Amino acid sequence: MADDQDLAETTRFERREAFASGVSARTGINEAMIERLVHNFYARVRADTVLRPIFAERIADWEPHLERMCAFWSSVALMSGRYHGRPMPAHANLPIGGSDFDRWLTLFEETAREVCPPAAAELFIGKARLIANSLELGVASSRGEILAPGERLRSAGT
């Protein structure tokens, strides 16, 4: 039994390694690139008049948040399994609407295109759009709303 579990664990590990090597070979993505992307992106968020206040209310110490976000992107892009959190509850009660998601994505896309080679930037941007969309739907549903196709999340309180 223990042997079976060890084998399953090894197989999972090897599959992840193979996946990460494939992504790296195609796009150049590695942990160092993820760190540059994350740090550069949140520097822009912290300088942005729209997003800064939302983050400033909730994040006093940026180091743990940046580390968590590197782990998140490592899990998303390289399937490293480094991230163990739950993004949805972290956003459910934020005072945000569709235009905040648009702003977040604009800054993220600008950063990815400046910091990463094109294939890597496209991979990050594609994933970010999908995740942003599912977070927007999730935040709406946590407010008891169901968004119709194409309908955007209303700003909280409007």
Q: What is the DSSP string of 100-112?
A: HHHHHHHHHHHHH
Q: What is the DSSP string of 91-155?
A: HHTSS--HHHHHHHHHHHHHHHHHHS-HHHHHHHHHHHHHHHHHHHHHHHHHTT--PPTT--PPP
Determine if 34 is a binding residue for ligand HEM (CB under 6 A). no
Closer Cβ to ligand HEM, 29 or 128, answer by number = 128
* Interacting residues with ligand HEM between 104 and 123 (CB under 6 A): 104
Determine if 131 is a binding residue for ligand HEM (CB under 6 A). yes
How many angstroms separate the CA atoms of 24 and 31, rounded?
10
Q: Which residues fall within 8 angstroms of residue 102, CB to CB, at 6 or more apart?
A: none
Determine if 124 is a binding residue for ligand HEM (CB under 6 A). no
Q: Find, among 103, 133, 117, 131, the residue nearest to 37 by Cα.
A: 117
Closer Cβ to ligand HEM, 87 or 154, answer by number = 87
Rg, the chain, Cα only: 17
**Which listed range, 6-14, 16-24, 99-107, 144-152, lies at the site for ligand HEM (CB under 6 A)?**
99-107
Residue choice 51, 107, 120, 140 for contact with ligand HEM (CB under 6 A):
51
Determine if 41 is a binding residue for ligand HEM (CB under 6 A). no
* Interacting residues with ligand HEM between 64 and 93 (CB under 6 A): 68, 72, 85, 87, 90-91
Binding site for ligand HEM (CB under 6 A): 51, 54-55, 58-59, 68, 72, 85, 87, 90-91, 94, 96, 100-101, 104, 128, 131-132, 135
